[in-house]
Amino acid sequence: MPIYNYSTERKISIFIVTLIFFVFAKNLSAQRRYFYTNKPYGSEALFNPISLFINGGYDICQLQSVPNKIGDNNYSQMFKNVISNLADPFPRIRKYGTKKFFTTELLPMGFTKDNGFWIPNYQQHLIGCGMLYTAMREWYEEHNFPAPWLLSSATIMAQHMMNEVMETGNYVGWSVDEISDIYVFDLGGILLFSFDNVNAFFHDKLNLSDWSNQASITLPGGRVNAGQFFAIKWKLPFSEKYSLFYRYGMGALFGFSQKKDTENSVSVGLGFKTKHLVSLSSTFRERTIETGWYAGVFYDRNNSLLASVTMSGVKEYFCSIDVYPGIIKFDNFSPGLWTIIQRDGKFTLGFTTTYLIGTGFSNFK
């Protein structure tokens, strides 16, 4: 006997609508600033709705075999496929297997590549989405937009819809991935981070920060430089200077962070970077990942990333160097610079400002 029936489906739909209205009502009250305080330097200086949309929506373009030219996608077909799965989720869950859906997508019950799909759901969609919802609301508040909670919700959900569209790629068929991402973890993240004590915990205790790439479109070909990354620094209880360091996104780095003074920190990490996706099913969009080695050094000020150097076993991202606004200065103008050097010596150079989306140049087609 299937667990779901149409009465249950209606109850779940009512619950989702009630959840959305609760989030809106909860955010009508003034709240403390946590993740966006209008810093004129570092990764926070580049944070805005457009950079959020590109970094999150095109995050998967870091993988091999995924087109990273912004025009090389059939967006209409990809969007229709995502919408068809979201519009009728319960038959897809039953076909996929209700138990399997709960144990691989929702509950932390497996850690292998073929049953640990819940890991990015909790990291990127629950915690990441929730943190960015708060940061984006604070951005709209800082820039005097009306109804910042509503605009933030719309921006975050648009970014995650684009993320699902890009992840579906050329696949046409049933999938449960966007169902768990959008309905459970993205909405759940917005709800979770609507509470001050949750924001305070992740800000004060874990120093959760958005250390995303410098979103840019490069020429020739219109390649997108994007990547959504988060950093956590948990202060060791026996030390005032050292913290455990964790940076995650398309890959993960584990290491230590050292405070140089009251504002500046240097972090180092080793781990893995995601190379590409491997299909596990011919009837569902069910994929696992293959990875390569990954290492990085990061310099931040007040948790806003100022510079980084990363190297990896992914040939397209052999060496990446980022210098965010706040280091190079021409009077009151401070640009950001970035470069990606491939293993074969080909490279891309980029330039960003706090006002417009970044641009760049590649020495290959």
- Alpha carbons 357 and 219: distance in angstroms, whole number: 13
**How buried is 327 (Cβ within 10 angstroms: 0-12 exposed, 13-18 middle, 19+ buried)?**
middle
- Please measure the distance between the N-terminal and C-terminal CA atoms of the chain and give it in whole angstroms: 55
- Alpha carbons 146 and 141: distance in angstroms, whole number: 8
Inter-axis angle of helices 75-87 and 89-96, nearest 10: 80
DSSP state of 100: H
- Alpha carbons 228 and 213: distance in angstroms, whole number: 6
Where the chain has pLDDT below 70, the residues are 1-30, 113
98, two tokens: 């209700």
Task: Give the pLDDT of residue 356.
Answer: 83
Q: Where are the alpha helices (DSSP H) in 238-309?
A: none
Cβ atoms of 326 and 42 within 8 Å: the answer is yes
Rounded to 5°, the CA angle 4-82-26 comes to 70
- Alpha carbons 257 and 259: distance in angstroms, whole number: 7
- Alpha carbons 214 and 359: distance in angstroms, whole number: 10
Rounded to 5°, the CA angle 252-189-44 comes to 60
Residue 209's SS3 state is: strand
Task: Give the pLDDT of residue 6.
Answer: 46
pLDDT digits over 72-82, tens only? 889 999 999 99
Residues in CB range of 304: below 8 A, 6 or more apart:
39, 41, 42, 43, 44, 45, 209, 324, 326
Q: Is the bond into 220 cis (omega within 30 degrees of 0)?
A: yes
196, two tokens: 């001050």
CA 117 to chain centre: 15
Q: Are strands 287-301 and 264-279 parallel, antiparallel or unpaired?
A: antiparallel
- Alpha carbons 59 and 274: distance in angstroms, whole number: 11
Cβ atoms of 352 and 214 within 8 Å: the answer is yes
Q: Which of 226, 360, 243, 357 has the alpha carbon at shortest distance from 298?
A: 243
Task: Give the pLDDT of residue 22.
Answer: 56
Cβ atoms of 38 and 142 within 8 Å: the answer is yes
